[in-house]
Structures are given as C-alpha cells and as structure tokens.
Chains A and B, each alone.
Chain A
Amino acid sequence: MTVAMSAEYILETRDLTKDFSGFTAVSEVNLKVRKGSIHALIGPNGAGKTTVFNLLTKFLIPSSGSILFKGKDITREKPADVALRGIIRSFQISAVFPKLSPFENVRIALQRRLGTCYHFWKPVSSLDILTERAFELLDSVGLKELAHHHTEELAYGQKRALEIATTLALDPELMLLDEPTQGMGAEDVGKITELVRKVAQNRTILMVEHNLKVVASLADRITVLQRGSILAEGEYDEVSRNPQVMEAYMGSVHA
C-alpha cells in the first residue's frame, strides 16, 4: 500500500513549515504531486509560494516537516544534491547567465552530465560534443537564431524561454517553474504555455502561476495557498467553485 503511494506521487511534503524569526511564511503544508502531472501552486502575493519552492530545492532549510522525493526523504540534502536527483527549478526573477551567450547558457547545463566540470586542463573544444544538443534545445524554444547573441540583450520573454531550455537540458524528472509567464505580453504567454505543455510530455511539472487562463489550460491539479497554508486543492473547476477560494483569491482577481 505505502509502496503504491510513493510510486504514484513523485513529491510529497509532510507538515512542511518555515518560520522567519516569528513570522510563519509556510505552515504545515502537505503537498502531493502526482507523477507525470502538471501541478499548479496558486495564491495571492506573499502566500508563500516562492518560499515553498526554496524549501523544496533546499535554498531554505525547513523549520519543521519533511520532503520526500520518489519516497526518499531529502529534507536534509544540499541544493546541488537535490538538483542531481532530478529536481530542477527556475526562478521567479529570470535566472540566466547574462554575459554568456544563449548557446553557452544551455551548454553550461549540458556540461553537468559530462562530469568534466573540474577539468581545468582540457580545452573548451572538449565541449563540442554538446553543440548539437544545445542547438536542438535552443530550437525547441525558438532561440536558435539568437544562439550567439548577448543574453543580456534578449527580450524578457526570450530570457524566460532560455531559462526553460537550460532547465530542460538536464532532462529533469521534476521541473519547478516559478511564475514562468510573469510580466509577459499575451503573445509570449501563449508561447510559454505551449512550451510548458510540450515539455510536460514525459516529466512532472510543479508551477507557480498567476495567470488563471494558463492554469486552467495546463494544470491537472491545483493547490491554493493562502498565508502559508493550503486553502483548497483539486481540479480547476472544483477549486474555482470553492467559495473560500473565490473570496480569498479569485474574487480579488476578477473583481
């Protein structure tokens, strides 16, 4: 029975809590993310969504509670170890390497599998075997033409797309996206939505998203967070009909 449970859920948190000197940003959160699904985490600003991401990826240490990835307790691990297990996150504030080209950005991620990151005596041409894959990834997010441009000069939407390509380069089992469409125009939002749908084919995605249209069209399951606690959970229709949710969150958006 328990074995079946952990096979079904790739990620579980148990009473996950984070205090910031007296202020509880995340309070006893029990989150279960089903393997292969797109799971959305929504809630008003300051609800604690980014903090949950920081806890899951060990950028913050939980005050109490535990985190299980594929049934294994990862609560005490370091950020890089969690990444090596296959949980790769994006950041709410776009996380690119601005002075490296988009091509190099993606190649940095691809390089990890090569295991040569300490090899200071090898020429950079030893990375040429990654070039083809890097271009494939850039192509999949529509950045192939800009591969050798200056990343810092890309448009905002293009930077987010580059970030997704970089994350994809590691072929993560679980991808955490923190507001991937934030601050984008309608056209870019549509592109990113399609991109997320495409990359979700053979992996699990947990995403924070404010745009409810995006949530409605992508998410299999939704968890609503409010002041650090889970307010509701379920499918979109179910959650959007919940009067508490309507009042706490959707009400404020639609009104």
Chain B
Amino acid sequence: MNRKLWAALFLAGLAAPFLIYPVFVMQLLCFALFACAFNLLIGYTGLLSFGHAAFFGGAAYVTGYLVKNAGLTPELGVIVGTLAAGLMGYIFGILTIRRQGIYFAMITLALAQVIYFIALKAPFTGGEDGLQDVPRGMFLGLVDLGHTYHVAGKPLELNLYYFVFIIFCIGFWIIHRAIHSPFGQILKAIRENEPRAISLGYKVERLKLLAFVISASLAGTAGATKSLVFQLASLTDVSWHTSGEVVLMTLLGGLGTVLGPVVGAFTVVALQAELSAFGSWVTVVIGVTFVVCVLSFRRGFVGEVLEKIRTRPPGQND
C-alpha cells in the first residue's frame, strides 16, 4: 500500500506542471522540502529551531550570487548553496546544541538575525532589493533551464520544473532514509528519553549536531533551488517570518510524520496565494487557520490520519 502511494505521488509530481501553473508548483516543492528538512529536527529529534530561515535564505544568497556573478551552472550552484548551509548549520549547531527547549529556540533565532543583518548590510547582497535577476542557466551546461515550452497555448517552464522536481525527490529521499536509518532510530530514542539514551552510552550532543547539520543542509537545498525558480534571493528568505512559517507548516501537517510537512507546506503556500488579494489580512487568516487546526487536530493533518489508522487494529504498526 505504501509503495502504491509513493508511485501515485511521483506520477502526480510528473503531471503537475500540465495541470497547475508550474512556478507555483515549484514554489510548493521548495517549501515542502524546507519543511521536511525542518521536521527532521523538530519531529524526529525534538529540537525546535527558530532560525531555519538563515539556512534557507543563506543558501539562496550564496547560490544566487555564484550563479549570477561566477557563472556557476545551476546544479553546482545548488550543491554549493547546500554545502554553505551545512557549514552554517555546523556553526549554529556547536553554539546551540547544548541548550534545551526555549533557550535553543531563542539562540537559533538570535543567530539567524545575525545572518539577516549581514544580508541587509553586506555589499554583495543587494540590500533591501535583494539579489535580482539570478539567471536560471544551463543544467550541466547543456539544458537551458530558462526555456519555455508552449503546450496548448500555455507557456510551461518544463526544463526548470523537472530540475526542481528531481532535487525535491532527492532531498525528500535523503530525509526519508535518514529517518528510517540506524541514526534515525537513535534520534527517536533521544526525542523520547534523552537521559536514557545517554545512559546507554550514546553521545547525544554529537548525534543532535549531525541531525542539525543534515537539516540545515537540506533547508539550504530548498532555498538555493528557490533562488533559481524566482531568480531572486531576498530579505524575506532570511527573515524570522520565514523561520516562523516553516514551524507553522510542520505543525499543521503533522510533526514527526513523513508526509506531514509536505501537506502543511502546500496548505500554507496555497492559502497565501489564494488570499493574496486580501493584502495583510493573509497573516490574520493564516493565524486563525493555524489556531483552529492546532486546537482541533493536535497531531496535524497527517498525524491525525495516522492515529486513526493506528488505533483501529491493535498490535502491529508501521
């Protein structure tokens, strides 16, 4: 049943640009990957980072800058952006990983604000305007990602779309594998009972640090990809709003579930798009939606569905 679900989702991903405006789907995929990366930390390790925009936006700037000014091909741009976010994650990690709960959240937020400040003030980031006109470039130097096809009169950026879709699939697969790996098992144990994990001889800080670096790297992948899709790295990408949004997406969809963050990201991005006509009321509507959802489905959308399945037949799970 699981296999069929994955196959159906994969096919839906392949068909999506013919059914929905491709740039919008690409935006969904970028934020979904971002939320999945975030979920590895909060859902499977129990760490609430409030600074993940630093990795998402930081990588967007690095990739945008290098593709625009150093002529990097898009795939190299995304790889370098990912590595840069991983390095930032490592630095954030060593500074915060010993802290617990709210202190961890506050320090990650403070560090992310430092990155925001750099993005605002540094000479190469374009200040308030951000980095604009990032070229989409030639994939492997061969395929023009900027090319637009015309199918039944509709303009479709199919090259770029499948580039983004493949990145999403790889990123999602890495997260899925990490969750279902020997490492992922220990992460769950730490989330469940940290002192017990320590008393069994696990070096909890190092394990958490690795989780943090993986999460930051893939958040970076998402941000780097986004900078190619929108041809823009902006202050919004590194702002605390974005850090908050990813928390919201993950909680809405169901923290600690594999598909929850994807569903949550789709919900939030779709709501923002649908409601954009209402201007600043969007925030209010999303806020209210969030409160209602959290009150009525505490486990998030996917979490509630899984709980229904779980509680029906007793015994064997997963």
Contacts and interface: CB of A to CB of B under 8 A. Distances in A.
Interface of A: 57, 59, 79-80, 83-84, 88-89, 91, 95-101, 104, 107-109, 111-112, 114, 116-124, 126-127, 148-150, 166, 170
A83 B197 CA distance: 10
Interface residues of B, number: 30
Nearest to B214: A120
30 contacts: A59-B195, A59-B199, A80-B201, A80-B203, A80-B204, A89-B199, A91-B199, A95-B193, A96-B196, A97-B193, A98-B192, A98-B193, A99-B192, A108-B185, A108-B189, A108-B197, A108-B200, A111-B182, A117-B182, A117-B183, A117-B207, A120-B177, A121-B177, A121-B178, A121-B181, A123-B177, A124-B180, A126-B182, A170-B200, A170-B201
Interface in B187-244: 188-189, 192-193, 195-204, 206-207, 210, 214
A103 to B, nearest CB: 11
A120 B201 contact: no
Contacts of A99: 188, 192
B186 interface: yes
A123 B202 CA distance: 20
A93 B193 CA distance: 11
A114 B182 contact: yes
Contacts, number: 104
A101 B294 CA distance: 27
B201 A97 contact: no
Given A80-B203, A88-B199, A91-B195, A100 B189 contact: yes
B316 interface: yes
Given A120-B214, A148-B315, A79 B199 contact: yes
Contact of B210 (A89, A101, A120): A120
Given A97-B193, A124-B181, A149-B315, A117 B186 contact: yes
Contacts of A118: 183, 206-207, 210
Given A108-B200, A112-B202, A120-B214, 14 more contacts: A59-B198, A83-B199, A91-B199, A99-B188, A99-B192, A100-B189, A104-B185, A118-B210, A122-B183, A123-B180, A123-B181, A124-B182, A127-B182, A127-B185
Contacts of B206: 118
Most buried by A among B178, B181, B185, B201: B201
B185 A107 contact: yes
Contacts of A104: 185
Main SS class of interface, A: loop
A57 B207 CA distance: 20
Given A83-B199, A89-B199, A122 B181 contact: yes
B280 interface: no
B58 interface: no
Contacts of B202: 80, 112, 117
A120 B200 contact: no
Contacts of A108: 185-186, 189, 197, 200
A98 to B, nearest CB: 6
B2 interface: no
Nearest to B178: A120
B193 A111 contact: no
Nearest to A176: B199
Interface in B85-118: none
Interface in B138-164: none
B314 to A, nearest CB: 8
B69 interface: no
